[in-house]
Amino acid sequence: MAPKPKEKLKAAASPSQPPPPIEDLFTSLDRHIQRSEFIQAVKVANQVLSVAPGDEDAIRCKVVALIKADKIEEALSAIQSSQKVSFDFSFYKAYCLYRQNKLDEALEVLEKQDKTQPSMLLESQILYRLGKMDACVDICRNLQKVKIDSLEINLVAGLISAGRASEVQGTLDAIKTKATSSFELAYNIACSLIEGNKLKDAEKLLLTARRIGQETLTEENLADDDIEIELAPIAVQLAYVHQLLGQTQEAAGAYTDIVNRNLADEPSLAVAVNNLIAVKGPKEISDSLRKLDRLKEKDSQKFELARAIDLKLSPKQKETIYANRVLLLLHANKMDQARELVAVLPEMFPDNVMPLLLQAAVLVRENKVGKAEKMLGQFAERFPEKSKIILLARAQVAAAAGHPQIAADSLAKVPDIQHMPATVATLVALKERAGDINGAAAVLDSAIKWWKTAMTEDDQLSVIMREAASFKLRHGKEEEAAHLYEELVKGNGNIEALVGLITTVAHANVEKAEAYEKQLKPLPGLKGADVDALEKTSGAKPVDGASRAGLAEAQEDGKTKEKPKKKRKRKPRYPKGFDPANPGPPPDPERWLPKRERSSYRPKRKDKRAAQVRGSQGAVVRDKNEPSASATNSNTSNSKSNQATSSKGVSQSAEPSRPQSKSSRKKSRK
């Protein structure tokens, strides 16, 4: 048994064998690539390069194998080390940078390259990830001339993300593609239906997409868990449709099932967690925060989305998750964490206003309303193109804090909503609360002027004029109110406006009021009423509603209803032997009160003999002059009872620190 190790040592010490021929190495390399054994392919490619340094085919195979094996950093190193090779690896470099989410650098590399079909596809993907949807759609339309598999899927996705969901059906008709040609395309078209608020049609198409996906993936021999992971986006979107339809319990159950089973890709899991939190609202805040913690980097102390999630979610989705995180922290009163998170959001989303709104929310929660109003106002002045939502938020904060003038000024700076009835009503209420009556009237006059010249189907002129007349009449501007009422009556003959006009004009011009009063239709039931006779009477007696209605009907029809039959009075029944002629003394008026509460109640006298018994039960009574230990005992017992009473009193005085029920408080009162 001993010589065998020596033989092994000799074999190890022998010189290395020469490498196999390069043709055999390429054959082995091709076999590993065909079998998707990319790590082995990289090892064989290194063997080829050791024999033939700088071989372009070996370097290309190595780079592609590293990318397929998700060794992106090593692939970039291989590209850097092959700069002396004449082959241009710019496309592979751009793809590696895209995989590392270095999108701007990847786009710069592609711009230096010729526009080929693969480079244009990669450029469209980069633009989609950057949120430049219109440019992405333009590239996809240019590639329609070349038949590329699944190009319509990317094109529809780009149209939806660009806010052009209405163009999806026309695009499908132009390229002659059915919505059910693949489950991915059916899913994207369902998303376009959701954008168009066609929720029932979207639900049907999503169910069809799930069925097609199950059939397709089963034919590809995928495992059941893998199929469920592939179809997870469809399941999440179905739950979202149920949420929009108001079926919150069903949607919450679907989200919970997806989260608990953990059989979903990272983006779908993140969307399910976020939507579940949105369905719950401020309920179960701690549980919602724990669910969000599943989405962050494991080693990070701060809340930061995991890299796999951050790379695949759109900027809008990531912004929504961070915003919900801040709102949950505010509800949980974790102000330090909320303040720390909103401080880094402007760098993460520099082109959006949501970080600023969240900072304002934190300031308001900290009772720093003035600082929040100042910050929002300064941002609106610097960036007028983004000022609409900022000014609306500033108006809401100021109105809630009791600053009506600041709220009104903020609303007045949003020009495209000044004429809307809701905005007009809000501005008038704010200025009226601030004491600016003339300013409120000016808002109403401006809105009336706009609606008189507006060419829209939804005409709100009569509504605003009626409210303006009521406002001016309330504040003593009768002439202006009468003028508005008169315009309404001449315009559409509104009865309410006619009544308001008569009421207003009657204070100044009775004849004009009587002239307009003739346009009112007579009330039913008052044809034969004599007004002069009514004025001479002292006043009408109150009549119940039923009698009044019956009288009106009788006067209108000219018929008299029969009088109701009188009820027969029955003789009272007396007790046996009672004479109603001689009833005797009247009953005691206090007979229903307890005895101790009656005026005739006298408490019983205590027996004086009971007071002579002293000591504990069974003690022997002695004469007063007889000295004994009983006096000492009684004193001792009295001191002990006093001690017990005092200790009991101490315990009762400490008891109110605990929460008491109503019954315990009642007992203490007794």
Q: With 70 as the cut, is the pLDDT of residue 192 above it?
A: yes
* Contact (CB, 8 A) for 38 and 65: yes
d(CA 132, CA 309) in angstroms, rounded, equals: 20
Question: Tell me, what amino acid is at 490?
Answer: K
The pLDDT score that the predictor gives to residue 12 is: 40
d(CA 577, CA 340) in angstroms, rounded, equals: 92
- The CA dihedral of 193, 194, 198, 199, to the nearest 10 degrees, is 130
Closest by CA to 132, choosing from 168, 112, 95, 161, is: 161
The pLDDT score that the predictor gives to residue 635 is: 38
* Contact (CB, 8 A) for 436 and 405: yes
Secondary structure class of 215 (helix, strand, coil):
helix
Closest by CA to 137, choosing from 129, 147, 127, is: 127
d(CA 402, CA 434) in angstroms, rounded, equals: 10
pTM exceeds cut of 0.75: no
Domain count, the chain: 1
Secondary structure class of 477 (helix, strand, coil):
coil
463 is a domain residue: yes
Pick 296 or 567 by higher pLDDT: 296
Burial of 490 from C-beta contacts in 10 A (0-12 / 13-18 / 19+): exposed
Percent of the chain with pLDDT over 70: 78
318 is a domain residue: no
Phi-psi category of residue 29: left, alpha or beta, with phi > 0 → left and psi -120 to 50 → alpha? alpha
pLDDT (tens digit per residue) in 243-259? 999 999 999 999 999 99
**Which of 51-55, 256-260, 267-271, 336-340 is predicted with the least confidence, judged by mean pLDDT?**
51-55
d(CA 670, CA 665) in angstroms, rounded, equals: 9
Mean pLDDT of 577-606: 81
**Whole-number average pLDDT of the chain:** 80
471 is a domain residue: yes
The pLDDT score that the predictor gives to residue 272 is: 95
Half-sphere exposure of 466 (CA within 13 A, CB side): 17
The pLDDT score that the predictor gives to residue 555 is: 55
Mean pLDDT of 337-357: 93
Q: What is the three-state SS of 348-386? A: HCCCCCHHHHHHHHHHHHCCCHHHHHHHHHHHHHHCHHH
The pLDDT score that the predictor gives to residue 666 is: 36
For residue 483, the domain's CATH number is 1.25.40.10
Supply 612's token pair.
Answer: 């002579």
Q: What is the three-state SS of 311-342? A: HHCCHHHHHHHHHHHHHHHHHCCCHHHHHHHH
Secondary structure class of 48 (helix, strand, coil):
helix
* Contact (CB, 8 A) for 486 and 502: no
Supply 371's token pair.
Answer: 């600082």
645 is a domain residue: no
pLDDT (tens digit per residue) in 371-402? 999 999 999 999 999 999 999 999 999 999 99
Q: Give the Cα-Cα-Cα angle 542, 544, 548 (nearest 5 degrees).
A: 95
The pLDDT score that the predictor gives to residue 598 is: 84
The strand pairing partners of 354, in sequence order, are none
Mean pLDDT of 210-227: 93
Look up tokens 């199929």; give the residue. Answer: 227
d(CA 296, CA 160) in angstroms, rounded, equals: 28
d(CA 301, CA 323) in angstroms, rounded, equals: 18
Mean pLDDT of 554-580: 68
d(CA 658, CA 55) in angstroms, rounded, equals: 84
Supply 442's token pair.
Answer: 């000016």
359 is a domain residue: no
Residue 266 CB contacts under 8 Å (≥ 6 apart), including other chains: 306, 308, 309, 312
Supply 605's token pair.
Answer: 């006298």
Supply 86's token pair.
Answer: 């004449």
Which of the residue ranges 9-18, 403-412, 639-648 has the most confident prediction, judged by mean pLDDT? 403-412
The pLDDT score that the predictor gives to residue 228 is: 93
pLDDT (tens digit per residue) in 419-448? 899 999 999 999 999 999 999 999 999 998
Other Cβ atoms closer than 10 A to 496: 14
The strand pairing partners of 305, in sequence order, are 296
Domain residues for the domain of 461 are 418-519
Q: With 60 as the cut, is the pLDDT of residue 650 above it?
A: no
Closest by CA to 203, choosing from 242, 253, 250, is: 242
At 112, the pLDDT band (50, 70, 90 cuts) reads: confident
- Residue 129: alpha-carbon gap to chain centroid: 26
Supply 351's token pair.
Answer: 């082109």
Percent of the chain with pLDDT over 90: 40
Residue 433 CB contacts under 8 Å (≥ 6 apart), including other chains: 404
Look up tokens 């990272």; give the residue. Answer: 266
Q: With 50 as the cut, is the pLDDT of residue 10 above it?
A: no
* Contact (CB, 8 A) for 184 and 150: yes
At 654, the pLDDT band (50, 70, 90 cuts) reads: very low
Alpha helices per DSSP H over 116-262: 117-130, 133-142, 151-161, 168-175, 183-195, 199-219, 224-230, 232-244, 248-261
d(CA 155, CA 162) in angstroms, rounded, equals: 11
Q: Give the Cα-Cα-Cα angle 220, 100, 50 (nearest 5 degrees).
A: 85
Supply 196's token pair.
Answer: 């168009």
Q: With 90 as the cut, is the pLDDT of residue 577 above it?
A: no
